[in-house]
Amino acid sequence: MGDELTGGGRKMKLPFVWELDSQGVVSHCIATHHQLPKTYLLEYSEDIRKILQGKKQALLEVERFPESTLLIASKRPLPAGAEYDCTTYNSLQRMAQDHQRRLHENADGIDGLIEAIAFSLSIAVEGLHTKEEHEGYLKALTNPPQPSLIAEANRLWVERSITYLDAARGPSLIAAGLAHFWSIEPSMITMYQEKGIKVERVQ
């Protein structure tokens, strides 16, 4: 697990990845770090892109971009016979490119990098929490975090992600901070298992 040596170089792999098997549909969970040096993010990009391949959606512990759905739609080719205003369409294309560039430039953690790569692959991105929930969570957060606060977030995010998984009818990616998967019980992993989802750590 962790770093993988390839040839004469060192290829870094994400350290915490799980498979979730829900009724035969295999999704993935990634435990993230919210702030990392850019060199680490560059190393992890290939692994993230590989895990995102074939995913219907990415469910992340980040604030949602309200325009994401519109911008992702604007990246797709115009369907045959469509009568879109070309000026508007081209404007949306430029917005999409600018949004993607800003995501890459501003990403300072694995979460932001996952969002940027998902966006580049035209994969729908949803928040595990709303902007208001996120703001309330940050206001209540202490150092070190209260276990009850983490556990409540775990419960909310597991229930919400299962709803998304059921609706997607296809593999998804779920990403949240390491504390939500590892250090505090009941963790998201434990809660998924209690919901009857098979969980296996693969990295």
d(CA 156, CA 140): 16
pLDDT at 8: 40
pLDDT at 96: 53
Q: Which residue has the higher pLDDT, 137 or 192?
A: 192
Residues with Cβ within 8 Å of 51's Cβ and at least 6 positions away in sequence, in order, are 14, 17, 28, 30, 173
Least confident residue range of 28-37, 102-111, 142-151: 102-111
pLDDT at 187: 93
Is the pLDDT at 161 greater than 70? The verdict is: yes
Question: Is 17 within 8 Å of 202 (Cβ atoms)?
Answer: yes
Which residues face 27 on adjacent strands?
Answer: 20
3-state secondary structure (DSSP) of residue 117? helix
pLDDT above 70 coverage of the chain, percent: 67
Which residues face 201 on adjacent strands?
Answer: 18
pLDDT at 166: 87
pLDDT at 137: 78
User: Which range in 55-59, 111-115, 133-137 is most confidently predicted, on average pLDDT?
Assistant: 55-59
Judging by DSSP bridges, how do beta strands 25-32 and 172-177 pair with one another? parallel
Quick one: pLDDT band at residue 29, thresholds 50, 70, 90? very high
Tokens 């560039």 -> residue: 101
Residue 198 has φ and ψ, to the nearest 5°, of: -75, 130
Domains of the chain, by residue range, sit at 4-66+107-201
d(CA 15, CA 29): 11
Question: Is 29 within 8 Å of 175 (Cβ atoms)?
Answer: yes
d(CA 100, CA 103): 5
Tokens 């694995």 -> residue: 110
pLDDT tens, position by position, 70-129? 444 444 444 444 444 555 555 555 655 555 555 555 556 788 788 888 888 888 888 888
